[in-house]
């Protein structure tokens, strides 16, 4: 298969790569770049575990071809921390006990980050809607929603 | 109540930071030098003789490094008990379900591996298959295993007292049948295995597991190499829920591929493979006959349960007994009889799962409501009348030391506003209650206890070595809390070496609710041992008695004289300077009756403690769509002692999602013969955030005399009582007692329609329903 050139920015670092045209963004991240924080739970866009941000919007990397991400900025869970400080959402997930087995956590965090970036005034219903494309088998979601709410509320306070 | 530094307090889990940053490695994330991709060829037939497997063409595919078939395995069968050894991983005689492993390939990449899989030619002689457990019992049905007549894998008979006499003495007797389809774990992480051999033929293997030592021994047997060469490594685990406690075919296959190729191999299951080729929960047909006094107290109960076990035993034989045990622990009965049959069919194997026997558990509670209605007694009273009390013995002779079942009932009823709602809610709006009890383990023979080792370093930090595994519930944090508490150090001073069979001593594993009670207990005992060494040295320095010392926040203090103290690390250094180590071990073995056996002798002390829980659910049903909206759920559980309330709440909430919301409203496998029609999350509906109701959690502490700090269990009994409460609430909302689970909209609409038309329902084949005007057909 012919390799396609791919210019892409991942977690703030610009990369010049060559990928197979059928390579998914998920494969690129996990297998080629060792960014294994992004998980594959179903491979068909249902579980949400592979969610990353493409130019600030959540996408399912298992359903996105790597070449589709050409010229975009991709953020994975590994890119959430800034200058050695974890993101407030990450801290909130820890503090609220929103993490059990942790397999869905990175997808959940990226969905929450996408929401926080695009709708910083999100209310509880919007939070629940934003998180409802993600399957968690452990928590029953209560603490995940609480964790996201706490951060969105805090950003409201700042305004 | 003692003044604890860490236990009893909510604290974020020690493993959560690595999980939120993506640093936590799961098995599929492992990448080793020269690692190959492994893939498995699976049977397309539910029942067929393997005549020939031709791998010659597949071996010529570029990039293929090894292929294994039934010819590469020792001709040994595995099973949890000697009398249930029925499964040869990579069978050489025949396949028994669609999806069974037939051959496997290791190649340099996925495409090459798949190309080789496609080139393996298997000649099958198709055999007649059987998919219905009742048909499977017939003398004319094809046999799955020659040494199991009538396809009966296990028959558990229990008979206590005289049920017939009990029925004669009863004021009211009724018999009902309840059914449920298979359910599945749908752990977040699909199954995966990575394996490699080193130059000394030691196997290193990683996989999601609920007991590394439970994996290691059968692997040692299957590979024919000593146990000290099997190194099941610690890895982050994406959920178990009663699965993953036993050896999986992929474990052996991956090891064989690694050995044959001389290179590391990783197999990562698809979601579909995780559903069809790991394990599922049993489908059940449960007939319950109950006789009561006029006040609702159960005198006699006779339960017959047919469980669809699929093609192999796996951990299923234990699952035949667990629903019965949960019932006999939760509720008193004078006379009880149980006949549990696990029957082979040509479907994937079934085993232990968090919601043990939906049809059984929900059947018992639904029938209590039916009886209550006849007697004019409300459901809460029906349960209070029959609830287990502390100091009693179960029918099969287990002493129940601590029990706050009644308190869970009254507190859950109070919090949910039961008295204001029962019988007073508008049409299609209902409330229901369920009670359950779970055992902390069972007699597990040589693997029934846990040992732990702790060493202190010269800086006062500790290394804790324990076989306890964390598969998502927070066991690692539990061990850290206990060690820090007992040693008087901070949680960040504790490092864990756990769940690695090369170094950790034996442990039962994180299933059957034993991790805290047994594994945590062993760590507590080891820490007490090490603390004693510190106190003996410190007592000489401070000129006080050992018993007068306490350890807290890295210091050793004299009780009642907090100004007299010495830094803990100074004591460690002084002991080390004398040429001694500061280390110790501890173990814990639960006080169970070792003679208790599932089939031959189901009597005697089952486990160290029992936990008890009650859930109340309130629902609304849309009569147009049959959709159930859950308004509020209240769960109260006697956990003994709450080691970490934050984690407990998470267990309660997750239990309600899995047991109630999913377990009763949506989850169940649908079949076309031996094919699962809904193996993925697209078709098998697990709950989402938008489905979840408001949840109230009530932690009740009965302080078990034997449990560490008084603690018992928290991971399973709410999942079961939630299932029972959801079932009861839906029945209450629509005014029809539902008997076939899950309660999907189609069944609810049909029940509503039958109720309106007043039709006598049709009877489902193989299901006996007697005298039930309100009964709806089992679909």
Instruction: Check: CB of residue B396 under 8 Å from CB of residue B437.
Output: no
pLDDT of residue B378: 98
Q: Both A10 and A73 in a single domain?
A: yes
Cβ–Cβ contact A79 with B under 8 A: no
Q: Structure pTM? A: 0.96
ipTM of the shown complex: 0.97
Confidence of residue B765 (pLDDT cuts 50, 70, 90): very low
Q: Which chain B positions have a beta carbon within 8 Å of A126's beta carbon?
A: none
Around B270, how many Cα atoms within 13 Å sit in the side-chain half-sphere? 14
Nearest to A46 among B270, B655, B680 (CB): B680
Q: Both A70 and A17 in a single domain?
A: yes
Q: Both A12 and A75 in a single domain?
A: yes
- A residues 17-56 closer than 8 Å to B (CB): 30, 34-44, 46-47, 49
- Give the C-alpha separation, B278 to B572, whole Å: 48
Locate A71 and state its tokens: 């010229």
The mean pLDDT value for B596-621 works out to 97
Q: Both A29 and A71 in a single domain?
A: yes
pLDDT of residue B462: 98
Percent of chain A at pLDDT > 70 equals 96
Cβ–Cβ contact A104 with B under 8 A: yes
Percent of chain B at pLDDT > 90 equals 94
Locate B686 and state its tokens: 């697990």
The mean pLDDT value for A24-41 works out to 98
Q: What counts of helices (H) and strands (E) characterise chain B? A: 20, 29
Name the domain boundary from A79, A96, A117. A79
Percent of chain B at pLDDT > 70 equals 97
Ordered structural domains, chain B, with CATH? 16-23+449-588 (3.30.365.10), 33-127+196-238+244-276 (3.90.1170.50), 283-443+596-757 (3.30.365.10)
Task: Quote the crossing angle between the two packed helices B316-330 and B358-375, to the nearest 10°.
Answer: 30
Say whether A140 and B24 touch across the interface (CB within 8 A).
no
**What digits encode the pLDDT tens for the residues B682-705?**
999 999 999 999 999 999 999 999
For B272, which residue in chain A has the nearest alpha carbon? A42
Confidence of residue B562 (pLDDT cuts 50, 70, 90): confident
Please name which of B585, B569, B490, B559 lies closest in space to residue B537, comparing C-alpha atoms: B569
Task: Please tell me whether the peptide bond between B34 and the residue prior to it is cis, using omega within 30 degrees of 0.
Answer: no
Q: How many CB atoms lie within 10 A of CB B108?
A: 16
Instruction: Check: CB of residue A47 under 8 Å from CB of residue A88.
Output: no
The mean pLDDT value for B710-730 works out to 96
pLDDT of residue B778: 38
Contacts of B2 (CB under 8 A, 6+ apart): none
Residue owning tokens 């030391």: B401
DSSP string, A53-78: EETTEEEETTSSBGGGGTT-EEE-GG
Distance from CA of B408 to the nearest CA of A (A): 21
Please name which of B346, B356, B316 lies closest in space to residue B96, comparing C-alpha atoms: B346
Above 70 in pLDDT, residue B553? yes
Above 60 in pLDDT, residue B252? yes
CATH code of the domain covering residue A16: 3.10.20.30
- Give the C-alpha separation, B644 to B120, whole Å: 53
- Give the C-alpha separation, B686 to B589, whole Å: 37
Residue owning tokens 């604890």: B4
Q: Both A40 and A104 in a single domain?
A: no
Confidence of residue A138 (pLDDT cuts 50, 70, 90): very high
- Give the C-alpha separation, B118 to B152, whole Å: 36
The mean pLDDT value for B443-468 works out to 95
Cβ–Cβ contact A90 with B under 8 A: yes
Sheet bearing B265-268, strands edge to edge: B64-69, B101-107, B36-42, B265-268, B192-197, B203-206, B230-232
Name the domain boundary from A26, A58, A79. A79
Above 80 in pLDDT, residue A15? yes
DSSP string, B232-281: EPP-B----TT-S-S--HHHHHHHHHHHHHTS-EEEE--HHHHHHTT-BP
Distance from CA of A77 to the nearest CA of B (A): 6
Q: Both A105 and A149 in a single domain?
A: yes
Above 50 in pLDDT, residue B777? no
Q: How many CB atoms lie within 10 A of CB B666?
A: 18
Q: Both A98 and A74 in a single domain?
A: no
Say whether B472 and A38 touch across the interface (CB within 8 A).
no
Q: Both A23 and A61 in a single domain?
A: yes
What is the rounded average pLDDT for all residues in chain A? 95
Q: Which chain A positions have a beta carbon within 8 Å of B25's beta carbon?
A: 36
Q: Which chain B positions have a beta carbon within 8 Å of A103's beta carbon?
A: 26, 187-189, 238-239, 472
CATH code of the domain covering residue A121: 1.10.150.120
Nearest to A139 among B653, B680, B686 (CB): B653
Q: Both A93 and A116 in a single domain?
A: yes
What is the rounded average pLDDT for all residues in chain B? 95
Query: Percent helix, strand and coil across chain A, each rounded to 5?
Result: 40, 20, 40
Distance from CA of A56 to the nearest CA of B (A): 18
Above 70 in pLDDT, residue B89? yes
Q: Please tell me what DSSP assigns to residue B763.
A: P
Above 60 in pLDDT, residue B776? no
Helix (H, G, I), strand (E, B) or coil at B368: helix
Say whether B189 and A101 touch across the interface (CB within 8 A).
yes
- Give the C-alpha separation, B566 to B552, whole Å: 11
Around B562, how many Cα atoms within 13 Å sit in the side-chain half-sphere? 2
Q: Both A122 and A148 in a single domain?
A: yes
Above 80 in pLDDT, residue B770? no
Q: Which chain B positions have a beta carbon within 8 Å of A91's beta carbon?
A: 20
The mean pLDDT value for B719-728 works out to 98
Nearest to A101 among B23, B471, B690 (CB): B471
Please name which of B500, B41, B442 lies closest in space to residue B232, comparing C-alpha atoms: B500
Above 70 in pLDDT, residue B772? no
- Give the C-alpha separation, B406 to B612, whole Å: 9
Contacts of B424 (CB under 8 A, 6+ apart): none
Confidence of residue B759 (pLDDT cuts 50, 70, 90): low
Contacts of B561 (CB under 8 A, 6+ apart): none
Q: Both A152 and A110 in a single domain?
A: yes
Strands B94-95 and B48-54: what pairing?
antiparallel
Above 90 in pLDDT, residue B487? yes
pLDDT of residue A1: 66
pLDDT of residue B575: 97
Say whether A41 and B474 touch across the interface (CB within 8 A).
no
Q: Both A52 and A99 in a single domain?
A: no
- Structural domain span for residue A99: 88-158
Name the domain boundary from A79, A104, A124. A79
Total domains in the fold of chain A: 2
pLDDT of residue B46: 98
- Give the C-alpha separation, B197 to B219, whole Å: 13
Please name which of A129, A135, A85 lies closest in space to residue A107, comparing C-alpha atoms: A135
Confidence of residue A159 (pLDDT cuts 50, 70, 90): very low
pLDDT of residue B767: 38
The mean pLDDT value for B570-575 works out to 98
């Amino acid at each position: 298969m012919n390799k396609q050139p791919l210019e892409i920015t991942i977690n703030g670092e610009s990369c010049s790569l060559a990928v197979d045209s059928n390579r998914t963004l998920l494969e690129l991240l996990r297998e080629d770049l060792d960014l294994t924080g992004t998980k594959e739970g179903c491979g068909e866009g249902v579980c949400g575990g592979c969610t990353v941000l493409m130019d600030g919007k959540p996408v399912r990397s298992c359903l996105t071809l790597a070449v589709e991400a050409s010229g975009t900025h991709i953020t994975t869970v590994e890119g959430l921390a800034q200058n050695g400080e974890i993101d407030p959402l990450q801290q909130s997930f820890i503090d609220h006990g929103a993490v059990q087995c942790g397999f869905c956590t990175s997808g959940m965090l990226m969905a929450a980050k996408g929401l926080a970036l695009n709708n910083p005034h999100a209310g509880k219903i919007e939070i629940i809607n934003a998180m409802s494309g993600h399957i968690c088998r452990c928590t029953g979601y209560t603490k995940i929603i609480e964790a996201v709410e706490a951060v969105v509320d805090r950003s409201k306070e700042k305004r | 109540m003692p003044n604890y530094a860490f236990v009893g307090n909510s604290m974020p889990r020690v493993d959560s930071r690595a999980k939120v940053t993506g640093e936590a490695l799961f098995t599929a994330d492992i990448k080793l030098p020269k690692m190959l991709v492994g893939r498995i060829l699976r049977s397309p037939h539910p029942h067929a003789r393997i005549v020939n497997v031709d791998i010659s063409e597949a071996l010529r595919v570029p990039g293929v490094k090894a292929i294994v078939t039934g010819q590469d395995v020792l001709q040994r069968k595995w099973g949890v008990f000697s009398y249930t050894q029925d499964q040869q991983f990579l069978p050489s005689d025949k396949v028994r379900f669609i999806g069974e492993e037939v051959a496997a390939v290791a190649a340099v990449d996925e495409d090459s591996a798949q190309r080789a899989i496609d080139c393996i030619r298997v000649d099958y002689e198709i055999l007649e298959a059987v998919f219905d457990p009742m048909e499977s019992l017939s003398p004319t049905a094809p046999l799955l295993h020659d040494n199991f007549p009538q396809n009966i894998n296990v028959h558990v008979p229990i008979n206590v007292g005289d049920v017939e006499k009990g029925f004669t003495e009863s004021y009211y007797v009724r018999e009902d049948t309840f059914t449920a389809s298979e359910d599945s774990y749908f752990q977040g992480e699909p199954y995966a295995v990575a394996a490699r051999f080193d130059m000394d033929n030691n196997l290193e293997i990683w996989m999601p597991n609920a007991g590394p030592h439970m994996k290691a021994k059968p692997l040692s047997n299957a590979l024919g190499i000593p146990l000290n060469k099997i190194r099941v490594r610690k890895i982050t685990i994406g959920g178990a829920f009663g699965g993953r406690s036993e050896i999986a075919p992929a474990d052996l296959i991956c090891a064989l591929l690694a050995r044959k190729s001389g290179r590391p191999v990783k197999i990562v299951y698809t979601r579909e493979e995780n559903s069809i080729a790991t394990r599922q929960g049993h489908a059940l047909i449960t007939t319950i006959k109950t006789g009561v006094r006029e006040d609702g107290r159960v005198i006699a109960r006779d339960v017959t349960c047919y469980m669809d076990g699929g093609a192999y035993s796996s951990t299923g034989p234990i699952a035949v007994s667990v629903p019965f045990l949960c019932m006999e622990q939760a509720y008193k009965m004078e006379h009880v009889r149980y006949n549990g049959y696990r029957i082979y069919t040509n479907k994937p194997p079934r085993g232990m799962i968090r919601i043990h026997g939906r049809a059984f558990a929900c059947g018992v509670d639904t029938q209590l409501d039916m009886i209550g209605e006849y007697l004019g007694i409300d459901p809460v009273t029906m349960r209070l009348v029959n609830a287990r009390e502390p100091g009693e013995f179960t029918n099969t002779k287990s002493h129940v030391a601590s029990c706050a079942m009644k308190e869970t009932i009254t507190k859950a009823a109070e919090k949910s506003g039961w008295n204001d709602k029962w019988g007073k809610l508008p049409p299609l709006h209902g409330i229901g209650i369920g009670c359950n009890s779970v055992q902390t383990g069972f007699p597990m023979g040589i693997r029934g206890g846990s040992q732990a080792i702790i060493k202190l370093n010269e800086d006062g930090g500790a290394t804790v070595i324990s076989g306890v595994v964390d598969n998502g519930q927070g066991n690692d944090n539990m061990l850290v809390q206990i060690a820090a508490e007992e040693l008087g150090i901070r949680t960040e001073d504790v490092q864990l070496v756990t769940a690695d069979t090369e170094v950790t001593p034996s442990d039962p594993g994180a299933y059957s609710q034993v991790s805290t009670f047994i594994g945590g207990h062993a760590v507590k005992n080891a820490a007490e041992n090490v603390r004693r060494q510190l106190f003996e040295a410190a007592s000489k320095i401070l000129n006080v008695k050992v018993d007068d010392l306490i350890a807290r926040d890295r210091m050793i203090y004299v009780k009642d004289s907090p100004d007299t103290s010495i830094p803990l690390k100074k004591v460690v250094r002084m002991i080390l300077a004398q040429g001694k180590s500061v280390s110790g071990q501890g173990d814990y073995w639960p006080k169970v009756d070792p003679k208790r056996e599932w089939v031959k002798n189901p009597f005697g002390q089952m486990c160290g403690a029992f936990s008890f829980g009650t859930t109340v659910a309130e629902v609304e049903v849309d009569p147009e769509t049959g959709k159930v909206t859950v308004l509020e759920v209240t769960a109260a559980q006697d956990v003994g002692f709450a080691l970490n309330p934050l984690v407990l709440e998470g267990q309660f909430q997750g239990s309600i999602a899995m047991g109630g919301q999913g377990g009763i409203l949506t989850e169940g496998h649908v079949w076309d013969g031996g094919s699962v029609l809904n193996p993925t999350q697209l078709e098998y509906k697990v709950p989402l955030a938008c489905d979840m109701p408001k949840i109230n959690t009530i932690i009740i502490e009965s302080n078990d005399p034997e449990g560490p700090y008084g603690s018992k269990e928290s991971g399973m009994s709410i999942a079961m009582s939630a299932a029972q409460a959801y079932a009861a609430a839906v029945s209450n909302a629509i005014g029809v007692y539902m008997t076939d689970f899950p309660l999907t909209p189609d069944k609810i609409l049909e029940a509503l329609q039958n109720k309106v038309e007043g039709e006598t329902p049709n009877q489902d084949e193989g299901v006996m329903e007697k005298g039930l005007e309100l009964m709806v057909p089992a679909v």
